[in-house]
Chains A and B, each alone.
Chain A
Amino acid sequence: MSKNNQNDIDLEGLQAGIAKPNRRGFLALVGVGAAGVALAACSSDNATSTTSTTAAAAGGGSSTTAKAPGTTAPSGGGDLEVAALAAGLEVLAVNTYGAALDAATAGKLGAVPPAVAEYVTTAKAHHQAALDAWNGVLTGAGKPAVTEPPKDLEATVNGEFAKVTDVGGAAALALMLEEIAAATYQKAIPTLQSKDAIELAGSIQVVDAQHVAILLFVSGQYPVPDTFASTEKAAA
């Protein structure tokens, strides 16, 4: 995140720590979310909205200009369905991180540690880049860009976000989203046909899994708890 953006956030009186996320709550939410995304994947309406996302890419502490792996339009319909699903998830992530930044700026999350503020801005920019990449795949194949998240999952996340009152709660929600995203990409990879789509999904899976590790660390948990990454929380 840029220093200017960081200064916009209340950094006074930094909190001593972040509450551990409620993983049981995550799982319940993931279950609802998975159903929602699965429905979204089956609905062309969710991929054809022209409503623009409210979130804009922010300049993060890390590069957001790295070239995405090839975004040549895949020939298979299955790849395009995955692209639309992925883009919808990315819209949701961008919007959620944007909302977290807005809430932090408004002082609704209490004091925000600088590392957390930096993380949120960086992760939001990463997801915006991923969204742009997937939309490049879709528009390259003559499909409309995805600009809205899956409705059901969005409603669920918004409901959970309404309960967030501090940085710990926001981190917990972010962790849930990142776990879903990483698992969704991991699950999709063996099903994808296009080389470019596989490379793009893999390159994003890596970064989302890394988001998970750092969120676990700042949440007071071991950053690499699993020996093998699971697809259990995948959205479809």
Chain B
Amino acid sequence: MMVNEPALKGLIEESQDLHSDAMREVKPALAGLTELHHDAPSEPLDRPTIDRINGERSTLAGRTTSALAGAGLLATGIGASLVALLASPASADEAMDIQMLQTATSLELLAVATYGAALELPFIANGNAVVKTFAETTMQQHKEHGGAFAASTKALGGTEQTNPNAKYLAVVEETKPTLAGPGDVVALAMALEEVATDTYLANLSLLVDSDAKALFASVMGVECQHLATLRAVNALVAAGDAGIALIAIPTDVAALPAAAGSVAFPKPFEEPDMASPPAEGAVK
């Protein structure tokens, strides 16, 4: 094939000019986009905030469309893509997905730290074998949950959360010195598992990414079982030595109190009343 070099050079120069023009006009828009598509805004990403952000995006999209049209770039690939991107509300929702994943990671990291600390307590380390095994197994499961949430965070372009949830870390640190027996530890673990279960339940209807939604549903299905088990154990611990003796696998089913059949699920529907807000554990 014959190449017309002068013509090709002209096309390249024209392309470079177009690129320069595009970048000059697009830079303000990109700055706005960067501002909008952040991992952790300074305010919680609740629904009203997202609506406001999307409103700002719409305004920005309108300004950008005018600017691109004025520069003759609206019909170019980059112009069309940018306008489409700004006109889409997805970015804010994706940012919210990332925040929920970061918050979930923060809760998992806290759970790992808390079970780890519990296992250092003599009445757990040297206490009931099933309780100890539960703490060890659950800690490992939370570790894997945290890893999965972190991986999803990065897959969506977010920054991995590496710190435990600050709000509940303070609660755990405050509670640690008061842990005097298995019942105290179980009660603390119940609270953390309920927060996790409720948070993931609340997130299900907020998430946009279907893979993230499936992950939350899967992990929620395990955290709630931790919670159910802890509720049953809590009731048996409260019954004293006779109850603690029934914390065994296999247990003496005939000796279990009737309440063991219902204490683990007090309501027919889980209510996410202990859910953490989406941005609570987001990367700052």
Binding site for B on A (CB under 8 A): 1, 6, 14-18, 60-64, 66-69, 111, 113-122, 125-126, 129-130, 133, 167, 182, 186, 189-190, 195, 198-200, 202-207, 209-214, 217-224, 226-231
Contact = CB atoms under 8 A, between A and B. Distances in A.
> Secondary structure of the B side of the interface?
helix
Contacts of A207: 224, 265, 267-270
Contacts of A62: 262-263, 265-268
Given A195-B205, A212-B225, A224 B257 contact: no
For the complex of A and B, list the 6 residue pairs with the smallest distance between their C-beta atoms, beginning with the closest. Answer: A229-B221, A118-B261, A220-B250, A119-B261, A61-B262, A14-B254
Contacts of A1: 258, 261-262
Interface string B248-264: 01111111111111111
Nearest to A188: B217
Contact of A203 (B148, B213, B250, B271): B271
Contacts of A199: 201, 204-205
A11 to B, nearest CB: 9
Contacts, number: 200
Contacts of B268: 62-64, 66, 68, 125-126, 129-130, 204, 207
A199 B249 CA distance: 34
Contacts of B254: 14-17, 111, 113
B144 interface: yes
Interface in B147-184: 148
Contact of B249 (A214, A220, A230): A220
Contacts of A230: 218
B201 A202 contact: yes
B197 interface: yes
A170 to B, nearest CB: 12
B60 interface: no
A6 B268 CA distance: 20
Interface stretch (B81-89, B109-117, B118-126, B227-235): B227-235
State the main secondary structure of chain A at its contact with B: helix
B226 to A, nearest CB: 6
B57 interface: no
A76 to B, nearest CB: 14
15 contacts: A63-B268, A66-B271, A115-B253, A119-B261, A199-B205, A200-B269, A205-B221, A210-B224, A210-B225, A213-B264, A214-B229, A218-B260, A219-B250, A224-B226, A228-B218
B269 A60 contact: no
Contacts of B260: 115, 118-119, 214, 218
Contact of B259 (A118, A202, A226): A118
B20 interface: no
B232 to A, nearest CB: 6
Contacts of A211: 265
A230 B214 CA distance: 10
B222 interface: yes
Contacts of A205: 217, 220-221
B264 A210 contact: yes
B217 A186 contact: yes
Interface string B133-150: 010011011001100100
Contacts of A67: 269, 271
Contacts of A198: 204-205
A64 B265 CA distance: 11
A226 B222 contact: yes
A133 B224 contact: no
Nearest to B224: A206
A222 B249 contact: yes
A182 B222 CA distance: 11
B4 interface: no
A133 B269 contact: yes
Given A115-B256, A118-B258, A229-B219, 6 more contacts: A14-B255, A114-B257, A115-B253, A116-B253, A182-B221, A222-B249
